[in-house]
């Protein structure tokens, strides 16, 4: 019998943001996602964001799997207005269906005004759809089912496309969310597909850089802004990208190096610009990240780290211990504490990032 998926117990409160690192693979790990398929998947992903109220803050679509850093905000107090509900429905439903729901709501409102019904009539109409909103499982279910239908129809195939269940890891806002976003955007670099993460178009950073000032890049920029600064109350605002985040995130993706450009001129006045990358030690990078700065651990980010996919909960020691205490019944009586020190390739981050699971095999592999 499968155990219920691990969800943040504070998901329905305003205590802190709720992020999940979600991963799913194509069945048998077949290379089924080409350029056309990735474009379709991304389009559906954006559609389900609009419908569900969830937000993809970082993502990467590979040939046989994908990564999402998904924020799942709680439903606002009082729920949605009729107008807000209809707007969300229009993201995934045909115009005629949305018009039918609008008419149903109008008739219900009229019955309430006439005194023959109460607000519960409208509540029931809303509930037919809102149970699928602001929910991790429903977001992933809707996205994967809708994409599978398109994929099977397009490729004249039938049957299951994805492995049994998607994986999800609870991620703390702040250092953990920043690190996870960068880890996700560096997937194609680790795979040797590109040398620069900006060169891969099916990722949040590639979209943010290549989407243009008024194009789809705005959505990706807004997501990365949120991943970067949610712990500081930073909203998902694309306008904050160039002012507050772009340079810092670029340095994070560069790893343990900083760029320095110098200029020199010859006797004829010809100016030459030279850019060099000066490395920093892991201890210096660790100290910077511990203080909330923008220099992470290049060695870790450029390796495959199982903690980020199988660690259950990733964050500061206090965060992981809190998650453990609030879900104590999931563990045996001999388990005395929650946070586990990360080892292997992830050891460089072990003083600032902790895992709930103490992995023993395959904890880190080279790029």
pLDDT digits (tens, 9 = 90+) for 290-325: 554 444 466 678 778 899 999 999 999 999 999 999
How high is the pLDDT of residue 267? 65
Residues 183 and 11: their CA atoms lie apart, in Å, by 24
How high is the pLDDT of residue 13? 79
Q: What is the DSSP letter of 334?
A: T
Residues 63 and 58: their CA atoms lie apart, in Å, by 17
Inter-axis angle of helices 217-229 and 246-254, nearest 10: 80
Give the closest residue to 222 by CA, choosing from 210, 232, 234, 233.
234
Q: How confident is the model at residue 287 (pLDDT cuts 50, 70, 90)?
A: low
How high is the pLDDT of residue 295? 40
Give the closest residue to 165 by CA, choosing from 24, 361, 22, 265.
24
pLDDT at 285 over 80: no
Burial label, 56 (beta-carbon count in 10 A; 0-12, 13-18, 19+): buried
How high is the pLDDT of residue 255? 62
Q: How confident is the model at residue 2 (pLDDT cuts 50, 70, 90)?
A: low
Residue 162 · residue 151 · CB < 8 Å: no
Mean pLDDT of 18-31: 96
How high is the pLDDT of residue 260? 46
Alpha carbon separation from 323 to 11, 68, 159 (Å, rounded): 12, 21, 37
How high is the pLDDT of residue 280? 42
How high is the pLDDT of residue 322? 93
Residues of the chain with pLDDT > 90: what percent?
A: 67
Higher pLDDT, 308 or 212: 308
Mean pLDDT of 280-290: 48
Mean pLDDT of 3-10: 83
Q: Cα Rg for the chain, rounded, in angstroms?
A: 23
pLDDT tens digits, residue range 101-152?
A: 999 999 999 999 999 999 999 999 999 999 999 999 999 999 999 999 999 9
Residues 11 and 15: their CA atoms lie apart, in Å, by 9
Average pLDDT, the chain: 87
What is the CB neighbour count within 10 angstroms for residue 214?
Answer: 7
Beta strands 19-25; 65-71: pairing state: antiparallel
Residues 36 and 18: their CA atoms lie apart, in Å, by 31
How high is the pLDDT of residue 298? 65
pLDDT tens digits, residue range 223-281?
A: 999 999 999 999 999 999 998 899 999 888 876 444 444 566 666 666 555 444 344 44
Least confident of 1-5, 190-194, 355-359: 1-5
| Domains and their CATH numbers in the chain | 19-75+138-365 (3.30.70.1290), 82-130 (no CATH)
The pair of three-digit structure tokens given for residue 145, joined into one six-digit string:
């089912």
pLDDT tens digits, residue range 62-85?
A: 999 999 999 999 999 999 999 999
Residues of the chain with pLDDT > 70: what percent?
A: 83
């Amino acid at each position: 019998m499968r155990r219920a998926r691990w969800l943040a117990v504070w998901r329905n409160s305003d205590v802190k943001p709720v992020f999940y690192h979600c991963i799913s693979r194509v069945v048998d790990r077949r290379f089924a996602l080409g350029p056309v398929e990735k474009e379709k998947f991304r389009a559906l992903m954006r559609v389900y964001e609009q419908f569900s109220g969830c937000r993809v803050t970082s993502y990467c679509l590979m040939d046989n799997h994908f990564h999402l850093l998904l924020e799942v905000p709680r439903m606002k107090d009082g729920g949605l207005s009729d107008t807000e509900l209809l707007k969300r429905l229009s993201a995934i439903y045909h115009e005629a269906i949305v018009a039918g729901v609008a008419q149903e709501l109008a008739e219900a409102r009229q019955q309430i005004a006439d005194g023959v019904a109460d607000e519960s009539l409208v509540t029931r109409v809303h509930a037919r759809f809102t149970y699928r909103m602001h929910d991790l499982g429903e977001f992933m279910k809707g996205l994967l089912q809708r994409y599978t239908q398109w994929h099977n129809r397009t490729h004249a195939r039938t049957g299951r496309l994805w492995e049994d269940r998607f994986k999800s890891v609870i991620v703390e806002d702040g250092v953990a969310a920043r690190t996870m976003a960068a880890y996700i955007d560096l997937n194609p670099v680790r795979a040797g597909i590109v040398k620069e993460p900006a060169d891969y178009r099916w990722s949040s950073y590639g979209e943010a850089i290549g989407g243009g000032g008024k194009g789809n890049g705005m959505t990706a920029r807004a997501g990365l802004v949120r991943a970067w600064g949610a712990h500081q109350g930073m909203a998902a605002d694309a306008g904050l990208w160039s002012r507050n985040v772009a340079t810092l995130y670029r340095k994070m993706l560069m790893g343990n190096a900083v760029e320095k450009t110098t200029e020199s001129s010859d006797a004829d006045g010809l100016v030459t610009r030279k850019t060099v990358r000066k490395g920093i030690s892991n201890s210096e990078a660790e100290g910077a990240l511990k203080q909330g700065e923008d220099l992470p651990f290049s060695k870790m980010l450029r390796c495959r780290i199982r903690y980020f996919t199988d660690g259950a909960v990733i964050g500061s020691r206090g965060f992981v211990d809190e998650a453990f205490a609030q879900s104590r019944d999931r563990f045996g009586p001999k388990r005395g504490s929650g946070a586990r020190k990360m080892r292997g390739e992830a050891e460089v981050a072990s003083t600032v990032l902790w895992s709930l699971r103490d992995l023993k095999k395959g904890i880190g592999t080279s790029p």
